Amino acid sequence: MINSNFLPSGQHIFVHAKIKNFSKNFPSYRDASLKLLDFLLKTKPKSIVIPTFTYSFTKTKLFSQKDSVSEVGRFSEEIRKSTNFSNRTLDPIFSILDLLNYGFNKNEIIKESFGVNSVFSDFEKLNGIVINFDLDQIVSSQIHYFEKKFQIKYRSNKKFTGEILFNKKEKFKVEYTFFCRNLEKNYSWNRKKVKNDLIDSKILKENVLDDYKIDWFYTQELGNFLNKKIKENEKYLLS
């Protein structure tokens, strides 16, 4: 079984995971997800953040803190179903689970993605680490936060209106500002290049244990790296 000795202890951690291969060792996806969570807990973290994003809000216009299904992987969804829903932030698109109740969930409706009051801003201030478990490419919504912070031009704010169902019964209207790309334009991150550059810069740490890839990096190191690269070329992430 994988061990956590190579990860720094006592950190704030944000986890993006793919458990398709890992789950083959367990009776169910739930068992695999809880085992991976146990692995993370062995690092004695200050906090664990699990994304439970719901991009469908832009179409359905409804987000339920309790019932909206996570749209970013099976690990995320299994942990959501196994956790008290009150640990989930009231962000209709970029909600997260604050598993150890560190204080990321302030029970306030979040009206802007990647803003100065977002979890991503808090995570930068805390210099948390982002972990990619068994992912081929770099995955981190923190990059979108830095795109907004450094004011790239190929994304812009778009407003969506809808409702948030809080605490199973209270419903609130919300106008949400989503910093998003223009879907009519065909572009995406050059994830392979970015990952290789982060490895060469000794920012992204690579590990392979029991055939599972575990990559991680500190948030502030990523931010400093991207700040320099985007100043040199605004479309660095795309080119």
Sheet holding 212-218, edge to edge: 96-98, 47-51, 12-17, 129-133, 212-218, 205-209
What pLDDT does residue 185 have? 76
Residue-range domain boundaries for the chain:
12-232
Cα dihedral 76/16/59/117 (nearest 10) = 110
Rounded Cα gap, residues 217 and 142, in angstroms: 11
What pLDDT does residue 67 have? 96
pLDDT digits (tens, 9 = 90+) for 57-85: 999 999 999 999 999 999 999 999 999 99
% of the chain residues with pLDDT over 90: 88
Structure tokens at 109: 């409706």
pLDDT tens per residue across all 239 residues of the chain? 455 667 999 999 999 999 999 999 999 999 999 999 999 999 999 999 999 999 999 999 999 999 999 999 999 999 999 999 999 999 999 999 999 999 999 889 999 999 988 999 999 999 999 999 999 999 999 999 999 999 999 999 999 999 999 877 789 999 999 999 877 677 889 999 999 999 999 999 999 888 899 999 999 999 999 999 999 999 999 98
